[in-house]
């Protein structure tokens, strides 16, 4: 029975794809591999050959064994590992079931386990590949479900018919004692199908069945999209995807610790993506070079014994948190560029600065769609996500801000500072004062720097020149070595790590270089501070965005220059209210790793872009993005900004999720509206029927459709009729098939066709008459002959199109 | 009347719905976007399934096609015709359920059910689903309710349309085989009965019909062209005038008339005897009609007496068999009316055969009690003493003249249901005998 064989194969495929989904989520390739092997083996040896079929008792023992192991894992694990334990249990149980002789019950079990497996997988997965694989899974699951339905129905029908025959036979034996004429007393008729039910099943899947199911899959995908975008959301997602966990991440931190022996891990995991858009014309803004995205500013240098720290200013985040202001004035020649950033949120609940940092290119201003949760601390210059107490933590966060840092596609290194009131002047004064602090432990750096500058013959009257020279000095690869590792370096633990770096080993990473420059500038009376953020990244041409990995985390220096020094930088800045500027300096030697782009890079970029879309429009979909997506579809002015449109719609009819779903649904008006909507939906079909679609369809109906409906339904004959109808020789309603064949023969003769072609219509019609009116079955040989005739007909047409038409 | 599709969620569907609601609930409450997608993927098929199942059935009309009456012991071929009125939209895997049950005098017997399926019904076409009922007992049978059902594609939702009208079919008695001994009784001057008939021959009568070849038929009668076409020997049959008259009496009496406190086994045994008697008379009438045109008189003494006196014809044969299909045993007193009728209506010199469910002595005793003289019934040159009395309780006696057929010796070919448009012709019944062929010819109309 083909149905059962197909069902076995589809069930095995569903199990394998389900395990792949799980394996991707768990990052455990052995799981899908194991299932693939088991599925292949079970299909061949259990289902097809029947050599290996686990007895029920053995299978049950296996399952108990698996359950015991899974539960022991479950109770001794963290919550995430508990999820893995459940998922693994499902996989192992499926493997055991696959090796049993399949019954309808076992197929049902496999379906349920597979579905649960996918539920678990959807909690573990974040990638776009999961979405693609889920679609494949959906198609196979539909195929399996549909085949299972056919298989089950046929089994049930066969059983019912068999039962009826048994009852019929029993009626004869119970009515009479056994005698040669006992059958005369059989009062229950015995039914017999004219066509075997198994054969019906096989025919069902032979007539475009797979196409039909794939079509259903497509429709379901469209439904899923609509469902996904319309489902009410409150933005209080309680689920934290393990796949997005910040555990084990390295990269941008909130503070710097120097002097520790170790190595910074090159973490290639995604940190953020940023796309730049010209806010005026709403077109992608092309950025030349690698942008600097600032995370936080560290001003306080705290030396300790053998180590030292760079810390933010003493103000706790939140106390001075403000909502971002809109841009007031754009510096001359600068562009207003919107940054759309999707950041992988790094949670650190133990930190006093618990709220996640949001990197951006500074200076920043509020964009039209900047979320309200995005807050700004002007003193520590931190943009952060105000999670707030009781709010759930998200894994990814998307936000938009605008910046004026770009001019002619280049990020400017000078950030002007304006002070329009006394308060902002005070704040700036405090920042500068903090940026000048030089602890006693590094005082020796003053003399060292002075000597260095003298030695290098630098004009010390210009802070710009000093800064540029020191920057060049540190970036010199002949003197300094860039290294992420601190192993194997002869360190002097008696002095400050920065002093040790500058004077002795001269080997370190960006934090050492930035610290050295900042402290050297401070030693010369120039305010300087450390900035931590991201620099570099990869530009995705297809997605037109930059992708930053954790390994792109970087530290650099900003020095403050007073307004009078600004002309030396040859930049045009609005002078009204100008209080100075912060100038970006990057003393870290650059790594020249520019490579030629290959096709592989293009593929990677495409995938990366797909992942971006997946992340932005699926994974991190929240009420705001939902609203944004609906606005793009033309649904505007939907109400308050902080709620999704669907939520607001529900609120307008009295269903408030904040009060709890059940409680709000229990309200009379909610119930009434709910029932009204349901009844409207159910009655939609009736309303649609009232519209005279027929009239509309008739306008678009092809000319020969009427003819088609009059055609007989023997397939090979229909094909021939269709073939000639397309060539302007339709059969008219008044013609019999025989007359039609005669007419075609005559026409073919007139078209100077070869004699074997001329005979074909009559041959086909002869067989058609035998099948259609003679009620006889067409044999395989006859069918082959007709098929050959029809194919030769179409072949000749291709050869002699002019003659035929 | 075909009602609109009735939709139900299947057991499997309820399980599915439960899981879907669980996931949808989780997705909405916890707002896990991946779960929301999964919810959509699970909820979508349910809605789509609901809509597809309805639309696959609402465009279908269906009916039963069969020949009425039919014969017991012969597989009664039927067809369910499913007509798809939609121009393009086909219907997948439509299941058909039909029932049949015998209608008894007092109550109805248990129904037999058959379940069929058709893989696909194309748009604007008709699908035929052939099946057969093997009916062993004569009588009136009621068919229905007939309903079509679809659970395609996923089996989560079930749509069903029911044809509420019930149709009846008359099942004529099962035909058996008469022995050569019987032929000798009819064709010779047996028991002093007189009669003459001319020899059957090709030139002796008008062409009447075709029938299957029987042992004893002349090879000259074989119609070779039809034989070649059908693949079995067929002979011409000629209408002949015969001068031999036959009187047949079917005497059916209830067991309680003879044994008031009969146990179940005895009752069952008597029921078999009744069926054998009816089957034998049906076979005799069939035989008489198929062999020649002898005049015959038939009187049936059941709950009441009914009589037939005619030269065999299609209509008479059909009427006799339909009457035999529904005849029930009486208290035995109707035999007197039958004798009286035969005495008045029977032809002179006819051969009288009495097929009875009791012995001759039992019958005479009962008639004597009623009329004080059983011999009074003999008039018109026939007497009870000369009549051939076949007591069906006596198997040996029955076997001498009559052999019943086995009911399971016919098979129906399994074939793919052909699809065609338009109304079909009458079904071709596998004709076992002349009478069956007659019935087929006489009832070339499908019952709707």
**Could you write out the DSSP letters of every residue in A685-709?**
HHHHHHS-HHHHHHHHS-TTHHHHH
Helix %, strand %, coil % of chain B (to 5): 35, 30, 35
SS3 category, A64? helix
B395 or B355, which is more confident: B355
A166 to chain B: nearest residue by CA? B112
Tokens of B135: 């009916």
Which of the 8 DSSP states describes residue A26? H
Residue B338: partners with Cβ closer than 8 Å, 6 or more residues away: B249, B251, B299, B300, B301, B305, B307
Q: Which residues in chain B (127-156) have CB-CB distances under 8 A to chain A? A: 129-137, 141, 151-155
Q: Does B74 touch chain A (CB under 8 A)?
A: no
* pLDDT (0 to 100) of residue A645: 55
Query: What total of structural domains would you count in chain B?
Result: 3
End-to-end CA distance of chain B: 11
Q: Give A221 to chain B, closest Cα distance, Å.
A: 7
Contact between A148 and B36 using a beta-carbon 8 Å cutoff:
no
* pLDDT (0 to 100) of residue A518: 92
Q: Give B99 to chain A, closest Cα distance, Å.
A: 9
Structural domain including B355 reads: 176-197+242-404
CB count, 10 Å around CB of B116?
Answer: 23
CB count, 10 Å around CB of A283?
Answer: 10
Contact between B117 and A185 using a beta-carbon 8 Å cutoff:
no
Of the candidates B12, B37, B417, which has its C-beta nearest A195's C-beta?
A: B417
The answer to whether residue B45 is domain-embedded is yes
Average the pLDDT over each of A78-82, A134-138, A478-482, B138-142 and give the range with the smallest value.
A78-82
Q: Both B67 and B126 in a single domain?
A: yes
Q: Both B144 and B285 in a single domain?
A: no
CA distances to A38, A785, B84, B245 from A712, in Å: 49, 20, 14, 53
Q: Which of B317, B311, B298 is nearest to B252 (CA)?
A: B298
Residue A559 pLDDT level (bands cut at 50, 70, 90) = very high
**How far apart are the C-alpha atoms of A493 and B5, rounded to whole Å?**
88
Q: Which of B118, B173, B156, B106 is nearest to B327 (CA)?
A: B173
pLDDT in tens, A156-194: 998 888 888 888 777 666 555 556 666 677 778 888 887
Query: Is the separation of the CB atoms in B391 and B353 below 8 Å?
Result: no
Percent of chain A scoring above 90 in pLDDT: 9
SS3 category, A149? helix
* pLDDT (0 to 100) of residue A12: 92
Relative orientation angle of helices B314-326 and B264-291, to the nearest 10 degrees: 180
pLDDT in tens, A425-470: 888 888 888 888 888 888 888 888 988 888 888 888 888 889 989 8
pLDDT surpasses 60 at A530: yes
Residues of A in contact with B115 (CB under 8 A): 156-157, 160-161, 197
* pLDDT (0 to 100) of residue A803: 44
Q: Both B34 and B68 in a single domain?
A: no
The kind and range of the H/E element at A301 are strand A300-303
Contact between A619 and B100 using a beta-carbon 8 Å cutoff:
no
In a 10 Å sphere around its CB, with 0-12 CB exposed, 13-18 middle and 19+ buried, how is residue A643 labelled? buried
Preferred mutation among A183, A207, A393, A655 to probe B, highest tally of B CBs within 10 A: A183
* pLDDT (0 to 100) of residue B89: 83
Contact between B119 and A196 using a beta-carbon 8 Å cutoff:
no
pLDDT in tens, B99-130: 888 887 555 567 888 999 988 888 888 888 88
The answer to whether residue B6 is domain-embedded is no
Query: Is the separation of the CB atoms in A557 and A531 below 8 Å?
Result: yes
Query: Is the separation of the CB atoms in B140 and B325 below 8 Å?
Result: yes
The structure tokens 């009329």 sit at B371
Q: Give A250 to chain B, closest Cα distance, Å.
A: 26
In a 10 Å sphere around its CB, with 0-12 CB exposed, 13-18 middle and 19+ buried, how is residue A55 labelled? exposed
Preferred mutation among A189, A217, A708 to probe B, highest tally of B CBs within 10 A: A189
Percent of chain A scoring above 70 in pLDDT: 78
Q: Does B37 touch chain A (CB under 8 A)?
A: yes
Q: Which of A109, A67, A99 is nearest to A85 (CA)?
A: A67
Q: Both B275 and B375 in a single domain?
A: yes
Q: How large is the average pLDDT for residues A312-330?
A: 65
Helix %, strand %, coil % of chain A (to 5): 50, 15, 35
The answer to whether residue B40 is domain-embedded is yes
The structure tokens 């090879």 sit at B219
Tokens of B51: 């809509």
Q: Which residues in chain B (89-128) have CB-CB distances under 8 A to chain A? A: 92-93, 95, 98, 100-102, 109-120, 122, 124-126
Tell me the H-state helices in A438-496: 444-455, 463-475
Q: How large is the average pLDDT for residues A20-36?
A: 84
pLDDT surpasses 70 at A69: yes
Which of A302-316, A705-719, B312-326: highest mean pLDDT?
B312-326
The answer to whether residue B314 is domain-embedded is yes
Residues of B in contact with A185 (CB under 8 A): 136-137, 268, 271-272, 275
CA dihedral B366, B369, B373, B377 (to 10 degrees): -40
Q: How large is the average pLDDT for residues B414-424?
A: 33
Which of A201-205, A220-224, A636-640: highest mean pLDDT?
A220-224
Query: Is the separation of the CB atoms in A532 and A252 below 8 Å?
Result: yes
Residue A329 pLDDT level (bands cut at 50, 70, 90) = confident
Residues of B in contact with A619 (CB under 8 A): 33-34
Q: Which residues in chain B (302-331) have CB-CB distances under 8 A to chain A? A: none
Of the candidates B34, B36, B406, which has its C-beta nearest A231's C-beta?
A: B36
* pLDDT (0 to 100) of residue A36: 92
Tokens of A516: 């050295």
End-to-end CA distance of chain A: 45
Q: Both B17 and B64 in a single domain?
A: no
ipTM over 0.90: no
Residues of B in contact with A192 (CB under 8 A): 75, 114, 131-134, 412
Contact between A148 and B404 using a beta-carbon 8 Å cutoff:
no
**How far apart are the C-alpha atoms of A290 and A293, rounded to whole Å?**
10
In a 10 Å sphere around its CB, with 0-12 CB exposed, 13-18 middle and 19+ buried, how is residue A755 labelled? exposed
Beta bridge partner(s), residue A559: A528, A583
**How far apart are the C-alpha atoms of A515 and A531, rounded to whole Å?**
10
Contact between B40 and A224 using a beta-carbon 8 Å cutoff:
yes
- Measured in degrees and rounded to the nearest 5, phi and psi for residue B275 equal -65, -40
The answer to whether residue B368 is domain-embedded is yes
Total number of residues shown for chain A: 805
pLDDT surpasses 70 at A389: no
Residue B168: partners with Cβ closer than 8 Å, 6 or more residues away: B68, B103, B140, B141, B142, B143
Tokens of B239: 């209408």
Residue A13 pLDDT level (bands cut at 50, 70, 90) = very high
B427 to chain A: nearest residue by CA? A775
Residues of A in contact with B101 (CB under 8 A): 188
Give the up-direction half-sphere exposure of residue A315: CA atoms within 13 A in the CB hemisphere: 19
* pLDDT (0 to 100) of residue A142: 92
Q: Both B159 and B295 in a single domain?
A: no
B85 to chain A: nearest residue by CA? A709
Q: Both B164 and B252 in a single domain?
A: no
Query: Is the separation of the CB atoms in A554 and A534 below 8 Å?
Result: yes
Residues of A in contact with B38 (CB under 8 A): 118-119, 122, 134
In a 10 Å sphere around its CB, with 0-12 CB exposed, 13-18 middle and 19+ buried, how is residue A75 labelled? exposed
Of the candidates B119, B124, B404, which has its C-beta nearest A204's C-beta?
A: B119
- Which CATH number belongs to the domain containing residue B136 in this structure? 2.60.40.10
CA distances to A154, A266, A556, B83, B97 from B62, in Å: 21, 72, 82, 6, 12
- Measured in degrees and rounded to the nearest 5, phi and psi for residue A86 equal -65, -45
In a 10 Å sphere around its CB, with 0-12 CB exposed, 13-18 middle and 19+ buried, how is residue A493 labelled? exposed
Beta bridge partner(s), residue A256: A310
Q: Does B50 touch chain A (CB under 8 A)?
A: no
Q: Both B166 and B192 in a single domain?
A: no
Residues of B in contact with A150 (CB under 8 A): 93, 152
Preferred mutation among B7, B9, B27, B37 to probe A, highest tally of A CBs within 10 A: B37
Contact between B154 and A171 using a beta-carbon 8 Å cutoff:
no
Beta bridge partner(s), residue B26: none
The answer to whether residue B212 is domain-embedded is no
Q: Both B190 and B167 in a single domain?
A: no
* Burial B369-379, CB ≥16 within 10 A → b, else e: eeeeebeebbe
Q: How large is the average pLDDT for residues A784-804?
A: 66
**How far apart are the C-alpha atoms of A457 and A464, rounded to whole Å?**
14
**How far apart are the C-alpha atoms of A383 and A747, rounded to whole Å?**
83
B199 or A458, which is more confident: A458
CA distances to A471, A515, A587 from A476, in Å: 9, 16, 9
In a 10 Å sphere around its CB, with 0-12 CB exposed, 13-18 middle and 19+ buried, how is residue B277 labelled? buried
pLDDT surpasses 80 at A321: no
Contact between A195 and B416 using a beta-carbon 8 Å cutoff:
yes
| CA angle, B184 then B190 then B192, to 5° | 170
The answer to whether residue B363 is domain-embedded is yes
* pLDDT (0 to 100) of residue A16: 92
The answer to whether residue B192 is domain-embedded is yes
Contact between B100 and A189 using a beta-carbon 8 Å cutoff:
yes
Preferred mutation among B89, B142, B153 to probe A, highest tally of A CBs within 10 A: B153
CA distances to A146, A152, A263, A685 from A4, in Å: 11, 10, 58, 36
B290 or A364, which is more confident: A364
Preferred mutation among A181, A394, A398, A616 to probe B, highest tally of B CBs within 10 A: A181
Average the pLDDT over each of A710-724, B184-198, B257-271 and give the range with the smallest value.
B184-198
A534 or A312, which is more confident: A534
Residues of A in contact with B88 (CB under 8 A): none
pLDDT in tens, A205-261: 887 888 889 999 999 999 988 888 877 776 665 555 554 444 444 567 777 888 776
Average pLDDT, chain A: 78
Tokens of A324: 């971002």
Tokens of A583: 């100038």
* pLDDT (0 to 100) of residue A314: 55
Residues of A in contact with B154 (CB under 8 A): 142, 145-146, 149
Of the candidates B34, B132, B276, which has its C-beta nearest A184's C-beta?
A: B276
**How far apart are the C-alpha atoms of B272 and B390, rounded to whole Å?**
15
Tokens of A35: 């299932």
**How far apart are the C-alpha atoms of A570 and A472, rounded to whole Å?**
20
Q: How large is the average pLDDT for residues A581-599?
A: 75
* pLDDT (0 to 100) of residue A529: 92
* pLDDT (0 to 100) of residue B431: 33
Residue A146 pLDDT level (bands cut at 50, 70, 90) = very high
Which of A153-162, A345-354, A543-552, B403-412: highest mean pLDDT?
A153-162
CB count, 10 Å around CB of B428?
Answer: 10
Percent of chain B scoring above 70 in pLDDT: 76
Q: Both B323 and B397 in a single domain?
A: yes
Q: How large is the average pLDDT for residues A261-290?
A: 80
A392 to chain B: nearest residue by CA? B30
SS3 category, B84? strand
Q: Give A2 to chain B, closest Cα distance, Å.
A: 13
Q: Give B90 to chain A, closest Cα distance, Å.
A: 11
Q: Both B118 and B247 in a single domain?
A: no
Of the candidates A187, A195, A228, which has its C-beta nearest B102's C-beta?
A: A187
Q: For the sheet containing A382-385, what is the strand order? A: A322-323, A374-377, A382-385
Q: Give A276 to chain B, closest Cα distance, Å.
A: 26
* pLDDT (0 to 100) of residue A733: 75
β-pairing verdict for B125-134 and A190-193: antiparallel
* pLDDT (0 to 100) of residue A353: 53
Of the candidates A150, A224, A712, which has its C-beta nearest B41's C-beta?
A: A224
Preferred mutation among A140, A187, A650, A716 to probe B, highest tally of B CBs within 10 A: A187
**How far apart are the C-alpha atoms of A746 and A758, rounded to whole Å?**
8
Cis? peptide before B153, omega within 30° of 0: yes
B287 or B380, which is more confident: B287
Q: Both B389 and B292 in a single domain?
A: yes
* pLDDT (0 to 100) of residue B355: 92
- Which CATH number belongs to the domain containing residue B388 in this structure? 3.40.50
Tokens of B237: 């049959």
Residues of B in contact with A189 (CB under 8 A): 100, 102, 112, 133-136, 141
In a 10 Å sphere around its CB, with 0-12 CB exposed, 13-18 middle and 19+ buried, how is residue A252 labelled? buried
Q: Which of A437, A439, A442, A438 is nearest to A495 (CA)?
A: A442
């Amino acid at each position: 029975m083909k149905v059962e064989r197909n069902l076995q194969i589809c069930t095995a495929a569903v199990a394998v794809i389900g395990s792949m989904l799980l394996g991707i989520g768990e990052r455990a390739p052995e799981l899908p591999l194991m299932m693939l092997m088991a599925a292949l083996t079970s299909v061949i040896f259990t289902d097809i050959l029947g050599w290996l079929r686990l007895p029920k008792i053995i299978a049950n023992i296996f399952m108990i064994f698996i359950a015991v192991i899974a539960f022991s894992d479950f109770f001794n694990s963290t919550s995430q590992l508990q999820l893995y334990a459940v998922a693994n249990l499902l996989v192992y149980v499926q493997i055991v079931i696959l090796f049993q002789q399949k019954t309808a019950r076992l197929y049902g079990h496999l379906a349920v386990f597979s579905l649960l497996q996918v539920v678990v997988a959807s909690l573990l997965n974040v990638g776009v590949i999961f979405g693609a694989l889920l679609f494949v899974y959906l198609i196979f699951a539909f195929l399996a479900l549909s085949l299972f339905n056919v298989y089950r129905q046929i089994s049930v029908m066969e059983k019912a018919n068999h039962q009826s025959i048994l009852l019929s036979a029993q009626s004869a034996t119970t009515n009479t004692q056994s005698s040669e004429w006992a059958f005369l007393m059989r009062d229950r008729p015995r039914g017999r199908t004219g066509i075997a039910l198994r054969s019906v099943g096989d025919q069902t899947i032979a007539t475009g069945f797979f196409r039909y199911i794939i079509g259903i899959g497509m429709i379901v995908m469209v439904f899923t999209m609509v469902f996904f975008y319309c489902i009410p959301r409150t933005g209080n997602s309680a689920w934290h995807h393990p796949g997005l966990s910040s555990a084990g991440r390295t990269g941008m931190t909130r503070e710097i610790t120097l002097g520790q022996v170790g190595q910074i891990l090159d973490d290639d995991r995604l940190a953020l993506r940023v796309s730049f858009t010209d806010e005026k014309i709403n077109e992608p803004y092309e950025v030349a070079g690698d942008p600097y995205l600032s995370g936080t500013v560290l001003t306080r240098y705290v030396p300790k014994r053998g180590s030292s720290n760079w810390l933010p200013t003493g103000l706790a985040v939140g106390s001075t948190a403000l909502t971002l202001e809109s841009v007031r004035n754009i510096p001359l020649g600068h562009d207003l560029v919107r940054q759309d950033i999707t950041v992988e949120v790094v949670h650190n609940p133990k930190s006093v600065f618990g709220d996640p940092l949001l990197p951006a290119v500074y200076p920043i201003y509020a964009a039209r769609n900047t979320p309200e949760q995005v807050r700004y601390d002007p003193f520590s210059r931190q943009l952060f996500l105000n999670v707030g107490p009781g709010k759930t933590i998200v894994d990814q966060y998307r936000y938009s801000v605008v910046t004026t840092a770009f001019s002619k596609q280049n990020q400017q290194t000078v950030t002007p500072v304006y002070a329009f009131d006394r308060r902002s002047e005070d704040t700036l004064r405090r920042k500068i004062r903090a940026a000048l602090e030089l602890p006693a432990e590094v005082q020796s750096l003053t003399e060292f720097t002075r000597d260095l500058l003298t030695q290098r013959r630098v004009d010390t009257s210009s802070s710009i020149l000093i800064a540029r020279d020191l920057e060049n000095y540190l970036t010199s690869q002949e003197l300094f070595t860039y290294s992420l590792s601190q192993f194997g370096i002869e360190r002097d633990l008696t002095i400050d790590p920065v002093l040790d770096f500058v004077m002795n080993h001269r080997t370190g990473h960006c934090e050492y270089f930035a610290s050295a420059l900042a402290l050297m500038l401070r030693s010369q009376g120039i305010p300087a501070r450390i900035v931590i953020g991201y620099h570099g990244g990869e530009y995705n041409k297809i997605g037109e965005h930059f992708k930053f990995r954790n390994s792109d985390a970087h530290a650099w220096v900003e020095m403050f220059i007073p307004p009078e020094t600004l002309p030396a930088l040859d930049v045009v800045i609005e002078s009204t209210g100008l209080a100075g500027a912060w100038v970006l300096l990057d003393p870290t030697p650059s790594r020249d790793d520019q490579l030629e782009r290959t096709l592989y890079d293009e593929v990677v970029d495409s995938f990366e872009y797909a992942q971006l879309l997946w992340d932005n429009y699926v994974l991190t979909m929240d009420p705001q993005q939902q609203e944004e997506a609906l606005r793009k579809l033309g649904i505007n002015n939907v109400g308050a900004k902080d709620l999704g449109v669907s939520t607001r719609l529900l609120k307008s009819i009295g269903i408030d999720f904040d009060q709890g779903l059940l409680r709000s649904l229990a309200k009379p008006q909610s119930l009434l509206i709910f029932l009204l909507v349901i009844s409207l939906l159910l009655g939609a079909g009736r309303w649609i029927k009232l519209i005279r679609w027929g009239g509309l369809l008739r306008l678009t109906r092809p000319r020969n459709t009427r003819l088609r409906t009059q055609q007989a339904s023997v397939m090979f004959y229909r094909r021939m009729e269709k073939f000639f109808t397309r060539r302007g020789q339709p059969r008219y309603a008044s013609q019999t098939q025989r007359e039609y064949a005669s007419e075609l023969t005559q026409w073919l003769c007139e078209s100077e066709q070869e004699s074997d072609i001329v005979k074909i219509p009559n041959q086909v019609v002869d067989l058609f008459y035998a099948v259609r009116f003679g009620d006889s079955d067409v044999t395989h040989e006859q069918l082959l002959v007709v098929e050959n005739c029809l194919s030769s007909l179409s072949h000749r047409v291709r050869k002699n199109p002019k003659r035929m038409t | 009347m075909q009602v609109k599709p009735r939709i139900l969620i299947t057991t499997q569907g309820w399980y599915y719905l439960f899981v879907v609601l669980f996931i949808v609930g989780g997705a909405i409450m916890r707002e896990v976007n991946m779960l929301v997608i999964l919810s959509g993927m699970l909820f979508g098929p349910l809605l789509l399934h609901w809509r597809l199942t309805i639309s696959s059935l609402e465009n279908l009309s269906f009916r039963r096609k069969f020949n009425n009456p039919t014969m017991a012991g012969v597989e009664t071929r039927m067809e369910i015709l499913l007509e798809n009125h939609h121009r393009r939209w086909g219907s997948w895997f439509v299941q058909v359920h039909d029932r049949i049950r015998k209608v008894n005098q007092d109550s109805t017997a248990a129904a037999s059910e058959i379940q069929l399926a058709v893989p696909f019904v194309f748009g604007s076409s008709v699908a035929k689903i052939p099946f057969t009922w093997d009916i062993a007992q004569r009588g009136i049978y009621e068919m229905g309710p007939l309903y079509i059902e679809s659970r395609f594609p996923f089996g989560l939702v079930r749509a069903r349309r029911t044809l509420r009208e019930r149709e009846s079919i008359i099942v004529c008695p099962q035909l058996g085989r008469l022995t050569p001994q019987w032929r000798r009784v009819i064709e010779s001057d047996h028991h002093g009965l007189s009669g003459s008939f001319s020899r059957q021959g090709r030139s002796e009568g008008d062409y009447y019909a075709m029938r299957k070849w029987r042992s004893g038929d002349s090879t000259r009668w074989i119609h070779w062209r039809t034989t070649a076409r059908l693949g079995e020997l067929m002979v011409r049959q000629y209408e002949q005038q015969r001068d031999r008259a036959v009187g047949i009496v079917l005497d059916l009496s209830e067991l309680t008339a003879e044994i008031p406190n009969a146990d179940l086994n005895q009752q069952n045994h008597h029921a078999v005897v009744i069926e054998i008697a009816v089957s034998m008379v049906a076979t005799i009438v069939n035989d008489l009609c198929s062999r020649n045109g002898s005049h015959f008189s038939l009187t049936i003494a059941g709950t009441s007496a009914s009589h037939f006196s005619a030269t065999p014809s299609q209509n008479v044969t059909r009427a006799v068999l339909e009457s035999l299909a529904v005849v029930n045993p009486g208290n035995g007193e109707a035999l007197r009316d039958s004798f009286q009728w035969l005495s008045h209506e029977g032809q002179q010199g006819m051969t009288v055969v009495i097929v009875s469910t009791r012995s001759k002595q039992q019958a005479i005793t009962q008639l004597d009690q009623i009329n004080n003289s059983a011999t009074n019934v003999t008039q018109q040159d026939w007497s009870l003493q000369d009549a051939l009395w076949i007591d069906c309780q006596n198997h040996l006696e029955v076997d001498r003249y009559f052999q019943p057929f086995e009911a399971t010796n016919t098979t129906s070919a399994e074939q793919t249901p052909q699809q065609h448009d338009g109304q079909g012709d009458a079904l071709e019944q596998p004709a076992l005998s002349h009478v069956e062929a007659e019935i087929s010819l006489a009832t070339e109309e499908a019952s709707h």
